[in-house]
Structures are given as structure tokens and as C-alpha cells.
Amino acid sequence: MTIHTMNHFTVLSSDLERSKQFYIDVLGLQEGYRPPFGFPGAWLYAGGNQAILHIMASKPMPAIAAGVIDHMAFTASNLQETVNILKHHNIPYDLHRLKGLEIWQLFCHDPDGAKVELDFPADEPEPQQ
């Protein structure tokens, strides 16, 4: 077997519309085709034809989180615009440069607490706070 690429992440949601608002309105993903499963959810795309994030809204939130995944990371652009959007939505974030690579790393959380990392190119200017 050979692994070629990451296919998608699935997050559980206590409120599908609130989660979609975060991932679509804040992070800029687009909702697209989702097979007709027998439970509510959404498939989100970052352009192209591969859904990279699945949202499931039918399961109750677990008392103990499943697995050990710490966060999901996306390559992004337009750091200043992202900071502006996060501030507009009152979403706290942590921004720093990764020593050695100098890329910008921005961390925030979705409405149900999933940690999201956004990586921006090193040549983007420091955003105006």
C-alpha cells in the first residue's frame, strides 16, 4: 500500500449551521456535493473536486474525544484579510512565525472546539492588529 495524500477530515458538530458559518464564512471553504446520507451534515471544498472537510451533525458530542488528533491544518493566503474576518466574528486566535521557516501560523478553534491551524507564506506582511 502507498499513501498518496490526505483525503479529508471529519468534525462533529453540535450545530450544523453554526459550523458551516465558521468554515464557509470565516475560513472561505465552499459547500458542495454530499451523497444523500441518512443524517445531517455537509461536505466542504477548497476549490477543485475533493471535499477536504466533512461535518457530521447527527452524533451527540462525545463526553471523551475520540482519538488523539490535536488539530487540522490548512495552507492559506491573505493573512490580513483572515485576521480581519476573525476579528469581525470575535474569534480569538494566536498568530506567530514558525522559527526556521518564517511562515505565519495562525491557530483558532471552530464553534465546537476543534483546533484549526492556518499556514501563510513567509513573504506575507505582518497584519495590522
CATH of the domain at 110: 3.10.180.10
Asked if residue 126 belongs to a domain, the reply is: no
What mean pLDDT comes out for the span 16-28? Answer: 96
| Interval 56-82: pLDDT, tens | 998 777 777 666 677 899 999 999 999
Residue 110's nearest CA partner among 89, 124, 96, 125 is 89
Q: Is the pLDDT of residue 4 over 80?
A: no
Asked if residue 3 belongs to a domain, the reply is: no
What is the reported pLDDT for 60?
A: 75
Q: Which domain covers residue 45, as residue numbers?
A: 9-58+68-120
- Lowest average pLDDT, out of 3-7, 83-87, 95-99, goes to 3-7
| Interval 25-68: pLDDT, tens | 999 999 999 999 989 999 999 988 889 999 999 877 777 766 66
Query: Into how many domains does the chain fold?
Result: 1
∠ CA 20-62-42, rounded to 5° = 25
When pLDDT is cut at 50, 70 and 90, the band that residue 99 belongs to is confident
What is the reported pLDDT for 119?
A: 92
What one-character DSSP code corresponds to residue 100?
T
Helices (H), 21-126: 79-88
Grid coordinates representing 26 are 470565516
Asked if residue 114 belongs to a domain, the reply is: yes
Grid coordinates representing 114 are 476543534
Asked if residue 63 belongs to a domain, the reply is: no
Asked if residue 30 belongs to a domain, the reply is: yes
What is the reported pLDDT for 46?
A: 94
Asked if residue 4 belongs to a domain, the reply is: no
In angstroms, rounded to a whole number, what is the distance separating the alpha carbons of residues 62 and 127?
A: 37
Asked if residue 85 belongs to a domain, the reply is: yes
- As a whole number of Å, the end-to-end CA separation of the chain is 47
What is the reported pLDDT for 124?
A: 95
Collapse the DSSP code of 25 into the 3-class scheme (helix H, G, I; strand E, B; otherwise coil) and give the result.
helix
What is the reported pLDDT for 50?
A: 87
